[in-house]
Amino acid sequence: MPELPEVETIVRSLQPLVGQKIEGLDVINNVVIKQQDYPPGELRGRVIGQISRRGKFIIIGDGGNRFIVVHLGMSGRFYLDDAANPRPRHTHVVLVLQEGQELRYFDPRRFGGIWLTYEPNKVVRRLGPEPLGPELTRDYLAAQCHNRKVAVKTLILNQGVIAGIGNIYADEILHGAGIRPDRPAGSLCPEEIESLRQAMTETLELGIANRGTTFRDYRDGLNLPGGFQNMLQVYGRSGQLCPACGEPICREVIGGRSSHFCPKCQI
Ligand SMILES: [Zn+2]
C-alpha cells in the first residue's frame, strides 16, 4: 500500500503540472467516486492550482474552490501519461490536461477512491498530525502512548494518531528505534519515545529521498518505481539477517498485521 513516502513522491513528481489547464475529468467507473459535490464538467477550463499531500491522500485544487482528493488504497496508481497511449484496464478516472497529457487513476483492487469536493479538509478531518510536521513532538507522542495497552506498532498505524504510516514503514521505524512492535505503547520510557520520534523522521525522510518502496504495484506520478525496497532493514525479510547485528529477522502477526523485527536489536 502506498504510504506517506510514496504519496509524497507522487505529489512531488507531479508539481510541474501546477498551472496546467484542465480539459476535463473523465469518470470511467463511478464506483471509485466517494463523494461528488460538483459535476465533473465544472473542472473544464480550470487550471491545476495546487497538488499537495495530507497523510496518504493527494489533494488537487483547481485554483478556486473545487478539489479532487485521491486515495490510492492498496494497489492504486496516479500517474501522468500521454493521451495517445491506450488506457489500461482498471483505469477508473482520468484528468485530461492540455497538450495531449492526462493524469490517470488506476486501481485493480479498488480499495481507494476519489472525492470531488469543495471541502477537502472534511475528507481528511479524522487524520492525526503529520509525522514530519511540527505537531509531532515528543510530548504529543508521550501523551498518545500514556497508559495505552495497545501494541506500539498498532498505535503508530492508527491514522487518527499519526497520519501516513503503514505496515512497511511502521516495521522499519520500530527497528530504527530499537523497540519491539508488540510492546504495549504505555510501557515506553521517555528515551524510547524520543527514539521512536527520531526514527519516524529519519525513516520517512529516507523513504522519500529514495522515492518510495515498490514491491509490485506502486509507481510515482511519472509511472516509475521507487528504490527504498533495496534499503529495507526488516520488512519482508523474515529469516534473513539483521543488517545491524546479524541475527535472523522474525515475523509475527501483531494487531492483524504481518510484522518483522530483529529479536536482538529491538527490545
Ligand atoms: Zn538486529
Cell numbers that stand for 266 in this block: 529491538
Q: How many angstroms does the Cα of residue 202 sit away from the middle of ligand 1?
A: 18
Q: Is the ipTM of this complex over 0.85?
A: yes
Q: How many angstroms does the Cα of residue 148 sit away from the middle of ligand 1?
A: 26
Report the C-alpha gap between 79 and 104 in whole angstroms. Answer: 5
3-state secondary structure the chain: CCCHHHHHHHHHHCHHHCCCEEEEEEECCHHHEEEECCCHHHHCCCECCEEEEECCEEEEECCCCCEEEEECCCCCEEEEEECCCCCCCCEEEEEEECCCEEEEEECCCCCCEEEEECCHHHHCCCCCCCCCCCCCCHHHHHHHHCCCCCEHHHHHHCCCCCCCCCHHHHHHHHHHHCCCCCCEHHHCCHHHHHHHHHHHHHHHHHHHHCCCCCCCCCCCCCCCCCCHHHHCCCCCCCCCECCCCCCECEEEEECCEEEEECCCCCC
Residues of the chain with CATH 1.10.8.50: 138-261
Active-site positions read 2-3, 56, 257
Predicted pLDDT at 1: 86
Report the C-alpha gap between 166 and 156 in whole angstroms. Answer: 8
Q: How many angstroms does the Cα of residue 30 sit away from the middle of ligand 1?
A: 47
The amino acid at residue 101 is Q
Q: How many angstroms does the Cα of residue 248 sit away from the middle of ligand 1?
A: 8
The CATH class, in words, for 4-123 is alpha beta
Report the C-alpha gap between 145 and 142 in whole angstroms. Answer: 5
Q: How many angstroms does the Cα of residue 39 sit away from the middle of ligand 1?
A: 54
Residues near ligand 1 ion, CB 5 Å cutoff: 242, 244-245, 247, 262, 264-265
Residues of the chain with CATH 3.20.190.10: 4-123
Report the C-alpha gap between 201 and 18 in whole angstroms. Answer: 28
How open is the CA angle 146-150-156, to the nearest 5 degrees? 80
Q: How many angstroms does the Cα of residue 242 sit away from the middle of ligand 1?
A: 5
The CATH class, in words, for 138-261 is mainly alpha
Report the C-alpha gap between 101 and 21 in whole angstroms. Answer: 11
Q: How many angstroms does the Cα of residue 5 sit away from the middle of ligand 1?
A: 24
pLDDT tens for the chain, 267 residues long, are 899 999 999 999 999 999 999 999 999 999 999 999 999 999 999 999 999 999 999 999 999 999 999 999 999 999 999 999 999 999 999 999 998 999 999 999 999 999 999 999 999 999 999 999 999 999 999 999 999 999 999 999 999 999 999 999 999 999 999 999 999 999 999 999 999 999 999 999 999 999 999 988 899 999 999 999 999 999 999 999 999 999 999 999 999 999 999 999 999
